[in-house]
Chain A
C-alpha cells in the first residue's frame, strides 16, 4: 500500500470473499501485506466513498495497491432501524464483514437416501440356481455419517460410515431356508470443492474415497442327523433342524462421487450427494464374488464450525 493511502482497507480472498486482512491505513508509511498467491479484492473506504480494487498475486509476486481504475462505490446514508452507529448501509458487508469472515472448519454430515445395487451377477445367479429367491423389502433407506475437516479453501478431508448392500434370499425346502447378508463401509475421503457466495453458501464438491467394506452373512444350514434318522418317520423331516451359520467378509472398497451443499445458515445446511462404491467382497464357495457397492443418492443435514482468522 502506497505511503499516501489513507483509509480503512479490507482485503478479501476470491472467490470465497473470505477476509484475509482488515486495517486502518494512515498516510506516511508504506504497508506491506504477505499473502499467498491467488485472486483478491481490496476495498478501501475513504471519507466520502469506497473503492473496490481487484488484483491477483502470482507466486513471489508483489502488487502495489492503486486506487486508479478502481470501481467507485458511493456511500449513501441509510441507517438501519435501531442502528445508532450511523454507518452507511451500502456495501456494509465489505466494510463490516466480521460475520462473513473466516472459513469452515470441522464438518459433520448425516444423510439418508436410496441405493441402487448390483443385480444378476454370478454370485446371485448361483443362488438362483440353487433355488434361492430374493426377498424384496418394502422400502429401505441407506445412511451415511461423515466427519471432515477443511484444510484449504478448495480442499477437505473426511471419514465416513456408509451403508452398503443388504439382502435376504429364501428357498422353500421342508421349511423356509434363508440366506441373508448386510454390509457397510468405512472410508477416508478427499474432497475438492468450489464455494460460491458468502460463507460458502453453495458449495459444489467432488469426493474420492478409499476404505474397508465389511459384510456379514447368516445362513440357515441343515444340521446333519444320525445315520438312522431317516428310518424314523418322526425324526425324518422334523422341523427345527436348522442352525444359523455366520460368516464375515472384509475387503477394500473404492468410492467416487459428488454433489452440492447448501449452507443458508452459518453452522447448518443441507447436502445432496451421489456416489458410486466398488466393493467386491462377498464371496461364495465357488469363488464368485458379489459387489456390495453401487450407486447411492442421498440428502442430508450438514453442520460445520466456522473459524475466523
Chain B
C-alpha cells in the first residue's frame, strides 16, 4: 500500500510539473489594479473595457503610442528554448500594434511581430528563443490611430519551434555564444563570451586571463577570458599566463 501511495504521489507531482508554465502574469488582463492591469506597466493611455461579459475585462490602448509591458526576469535560455504565445485581441482594420520582445531588458527590441487584424480571434504562434538570454520584457505597442484592445497575452515554454533561434547580440561576458559578434566585447571563446580580448581591455593592475563560468547550480562550466587581478591566482587554479599567478609561473 505504501508503495502504491508513493507511486501515486510521484505521478501527481510529475503531472503538476508538466503543467504549462505561465511566463506572463495576469495574461488575461482582467485583474485590474486601479487604472492599469495588475502586473503590467503602462506607457501612454489605456482604459479598462468589458468584453464578452460586462464584468470580464480587457485593456484598450487609447493613445496612439500606448504601450503595455511586463518584465520576466526569471525567464532564461537555461529552461526555455522555444516559447508559445497565445493572444486574443481586437485590432481594427488599419490599426497597427506589435508584440515585442526585449531580451536582457536593455531597451533594444529583439523581436517584433505585428498583431493581425481581427475581432478577438485567438492566435497562437511559436518563437524560437535566442541560444542565450536572461530575462525578457514582453510588450504590446500601438503605433498610430485605430482601436486596439488586448484581452489576453500568454506565453509558455514550448518544444516544437521550427525556426532557427533569434539572434541576440551584445551578450555580456559569461554568456554562451556561437559567434564573436554575439558578444559585447566581440570575443567568443569556447562557447562563452569573453570579458576581454587582451590586457588592453582591462585595468592597469589586471590581466586578461582564463576563468571558469558556472551555470548557476548546474554541474556545467565553461572556460572564458576575463580581467583578473595580476598575481591573484593560487597554485592549481586555471591560468593562461604567468602574470595571473601569485607565483608568477
Query: Chain A interface (Cβ within 8 Å of chain B)?
Result: 126-127, 129-131, 171, 173-174, 179, 219, 221-222, 224-230, 236-237, 241, 245, 284-286
Residues of A near B54 (CB, < 8 A) are 245, 285
Proximity string of chain B (1-39) to chain A, C-beta cutoff 8 Å, 1 when within and 0 when not:
000000000000000000000000111101111110011
- Give the secondary structure class of B's interface: loop
- Contacts A219-B53, A224-B31, A285-B52 known; 17 new A-B pairs at CB < 8 A: A129-B121, A130-B51, A130-B56, A173-B27, A219-B56, A222-B31, A222-B57, A224-B33, A225-B31, A226-B34, A228-B34, A229-B33, A245-B53, A245-B54, A284-B53, A285-B51, A285-B53
Residues of A near B34 (CB, < 8 A) are 224-229
Instruction: Assess the A130–B33 pair: CB atoms within 8 A.
Output: no
B152 touches which of A130, A222, A286 (Cβ 8 Å): A130
Query: Chain B interface (Cβ within 8 Å of chain A)?
Result: 25-28, 30-35, 38-39, 50-57, 88, 120-122, 151-152
A172: min CB distance to chain B, Å: 9
Instruction: Assess the A285–B121 pair: CB atoms within 8 A.
Output: no
Known: A126-B120, A129-B120, A129-B122. A284 touches B52 (CB 8 A): yes
A133: min CB distance to chain B, Å: 13
Residues of A near B120 (CB, < 8 A) are 126, 129-130
A130, A131, A236, A237, most chain B CB atoms within 10 A: A130
B22: min CB distance to chain A, Å: 9
Instruction: Assess the B152–A236 pair: CB atoms within 8 A.
Output: no
Total inter-chain residue pairs, C-beta < 8 Å:
76
Instruction: Assess the A130–B151 pair: CB atoms within 8 A.
Output: yes
Instruction: Assess the A236–B39 pair: CB atoms within 8 A.
Output: yes
CA distance A120 to B55 in the complex (A): 23
A-B contact pairs, 23 of them (CB 8 A): A129-B120, A129-B121, A129-B122, A130-B56, A130-B120, A131-B28, A131-B88, A173-B28, A221-B53, A224-B31, A224-B32, A225-B32, A225-B38, A226-B33, A226-B34, A227-B33, A227-B35, A228-B33, A229-B38, A230-B38, A230-B39, A284-B53, A285-B52
CA distance A222 to B38 in the complex (A): 11
Residue of B nearest to A129 (CB): B122
CA distance A237 to B32 in the complex (A): 11
Residue of B nearest to A130 (CB): B52
Instruction: Assess the B56–A221 pair: CB atoms within 8 A.
Output: yes
CA distance A296 to B235 in the complex (A): 87
Instruction: Assess the A129–B50 pair: CB atoms within 8 A.
Output: no
Instruction: Assess the B33–A230 pair: CB atoms within 8 A.
Output: yes
Instruction: Assess the A237–B53 pair: CB atoms within 8 A.
Output: no
Residue of B nearest to A222 (CB): B31
Residue of A nearest to B37 (CB): A230
B33, B88, B120, most chain A CB atoms within 10 A: B33
Residues of A near B33 (CB, < 8 A) are 224-230, 236
Known: A131-B28, A221-B56. A236 touches B38 (CB 8 A): yes
